[in-house]
Amino acid sequence: MNMQETCTIDIDTCIDSLGDAKIDSPIIRELNGSSVDIFKEDNDKILIDLDPDKIAETLKTGDPIPAFELAGPRKKIYFDPSKLKCAMVTCGGLCPGLNNIIRSVVLELYHSYGVRHIYGIRYGLQGFIPEYRHDVMELSPANVVHIHEMGGSILGSSRGPQDIGAIVDCLERMNVGIIFMIGGDGTLMAASRIEALIRERDLKISVIGIPKTIDNDIHMVAKSFGFDTAVDVSTEAIKGAHKEAEGYPNGIGLIKLMGRYSGFIAATATLAQQDVNFVLIPEIDFDLEGENGLLAKLEERLSLRKHAVILLAEGAGQKFFESEKKEYDPSGNIKLHDIGLFLKERIQSYFAEKNIEISLKYIDPSYMIRSLPANSNDHVFCTFLGRDAVHAGMAGKTNMIIGHWNDYFVHVPVPLTAGKRKQVDPGGKLWQTALEATGQGSLVNG
């Protein structure tokens, strides 16, 4: 395949293309003269780092300034909409906004570009594999018009790897021109391998990723869909835990939220509902025992205020399970030990040994949050993501995702983000402000 690059500034942000876009976009016919400026050029860039000192230093060296290609419709497109077939798949765990993304992609393809053949692949990557015998769902405005009001994904999902060759075989048999893959890091890794095999076979199939992680931990993506809803609902759990804790002498509300490797939800929810006294996330170490450990600090808090709220991400404190055997899920991820139940038991035994009566309420709203409909902010965010994904695919771009960076929607190459993870910066504003809000200080001895 004569794969082209539309990058002129920094090689690491180059976006691959299937070829020259020669067809006038049908959007042109739908707009009046005052709206033509919605079209973007490939040389419209968004700087990755806005620090003026770093920009000035880079200019002195003569090196290119790293920048992302701006997302949005192009005047010329690669695919002929009247002959194009598109497919869409959702993979991995559920997340608020999946149906919103599906709806947005379908409506943009159908109404703006006139694409009439849109297929939903059922149950994740399994849907490509003949042995599973999953039906294909035909998607149209009529059957997606109300799905944003529901949680989950109308396409279903699954975890675990599937044969990449069989997936590409299926795309060939279906004569698919654009495949939209909605998922997290595992899905992006699969997308990279699918695109590589497509390129090896010299096929004209565009692979467009829409990053999905409720944990907000996709590398080089400032914000992912579902995160806003997760924080929103988490604040309700905090409110409930706080009232439960206040209602009893030495009341403790213990809440476990999502966040396998990154504590963005827990830290942000702490600031959104400032009733949290201790927040524990994977990026920050903490001890249980000792005068500076969590248990002693909790006892001190109870003696002063008679109640406490503890918020923890699911990946926090995994060091306490280092002696136990590691197990893996179907996607190859290490199965996390349940820090919530572990901490509940340790707190109860600690105060029992001291003959201090406590009232501990443990709350885990994780799966409820994952399957809820998106809130208004996420609904709007998903609309932008889905429509920009369509614009990119119709222009013949491939091996990329739609990301959000410095308040703009941008094209991010899959190799730049797949296999990497964004985490809370211990010295950054989010964590430092969370520490100020809780007043917990360091929970590490020595």
Q: Are residues 396 and 355 in the same domain?
A: no
Summarised one tens digit per residue, pLDDT across range 336-355 is: 999 999 999 999 999 999 99
Please answer whether residues 245 and 253 qualify as being in contact, where contact means their C-beta atoms are separated by less than 8 angstroms: yes
How many Å apart are CA 81 and CA 114, to the nearest integer?
Answer: 6
Domains contained in the chain, number: 2
Residue 92 sits in which domain range? 4-224+372-417
Q: Are residues 276 and 209 in the same domain?
A: no
Q: Are residues 362 and 403 in the same domain?
A: no
Q: Are residues 101 and 112 in the same domain?
A: yes
Q: What is the pLDDT, as a whole number, of residue 42?
A: 95
Q: What is the pLDDT, as a whole number, of residue 323?
A: 82
Q: What is the pLDDT, as a whole number, of residue 54?
A: 75
Determine the average pLDDT of the residues in 274-280: 97
With a cut of 90, say whether residue 275 has pLDDT above it. yes
> Coil, strand, or helix at residue 311?
strand
Token pair for 437? 């809000």
How many Å apart are CA 262 and CA 336, to the nearest integer?
Answer: 13
Determine the average pLDDT of the residues in 303-314: 97
With a cut of 60, say whether residue 280 has pLDDT above it. yes
DSSP secondary structure letters along 331-370: TSPBPPP-HHHHHHHHHHHHHHHTT---EEEEE--HHHHH
Q: Are residues 39 and 168 in the same domain?
A: yes
Determine the average pLDDT of the residues in 43-57: 83
- What residues are annotated to the active site? 215
Is 195 inside a domain boundary? Answer: yes
Phi and psi, residue 274, nearest 5°: -80, 60
Q: Are residues 276 and 247 in the same domain?
A: yes
Q: What is the pLDDT, as a whole number, of residue 10?
A: 42
79-88, 95-104, 323-332 — which is least confidently predicted? 323-332
Summarised one tens digit per residue, pLDDT across range 206-263 is: 999 999 999 999 999 999 999 999 999 999 999 999 999 999 999 999 999 999 999 9
28-42, 183-197, 234-248, 304-318 — which is least confidently predicted? 28-42
Confidence band, pLDDT 50/70/90 cuts, at residue 60 = confident
> Coil, strand, or helix at residue 213?
coil
CATH number of the structural domain spanning residue 46: 3.40.50.450
Please answer whether residues 384 and 192 qualify as being in contact, where contact means their C-beta atoms are separated by less than 8 angstroms: no
CATH number of the structural domain spanning residue 252: 3.40.50.460
Is 444 inside a domain boundary? Answer: no
With a cut of 50, say whether residue 1 has pLDDT above it. no
Q: Are residues 259 and 387 in the same domain?
A: no
Phi-psi region of 175 (alpha: psi -120 to 50; beta: other; left: phi over 0): left
Find tokens 């599906």 and name the residue.
102
Counting residues of the chain whose pLDDT is more than 70, the rounded percentage is 95
Is 172 inside a domain boundary? Answer: yes
- How many other β-carbons are positioned within 10 Å of the β-carbon of residue 141? 13
Q: Are residues 245 and 285 in the same domain?
A: yes
Q: What is the pLDDT, as a whole number, of residue 2?
A: 45
- How many other β-carbons are positioned within 10 Å of the β-carbon of residue 323? 5
Determine the average pLDDT of the residues in 2-15: 58
Is 304 inside a domain boundary? Answer: yes
Q: Are residues 17 and 60 in the same domain?
A: yes
CA angle 17, 21, 25 (to 5 degrees): 125
With a cut of 50, say whether residue 5 has pLDDT above it. no
The number of helix segments (H) and strand segments (E) in the chain equals 14, 18
Token pair for 364? 């885990």
Residue 87 gets which letter from DSSP? E
Q: Are residues 203 and 305 in the same domain?
A: no
Confidence band, pLDDT 50/70/90 cuts, at residue 333 = confident
Summarised one tens digit per residue, pLDDT across range 105-138 is: 999 999 999 999 999 999 999 999 999 999 999 9
Q: What is the pLDDT, as a whole number, of residue 131?
A: 97
Q: Which residues pair with 409 in a beta bridge?
A: 404
Token pair for 320? 């306490």
Q: Are residues 249 and 147 in the same domain?
A: no
Q: Are residues 267 and 123 in the same domain?
A: no
Is 152 inside a domain boundary? Answer: yes
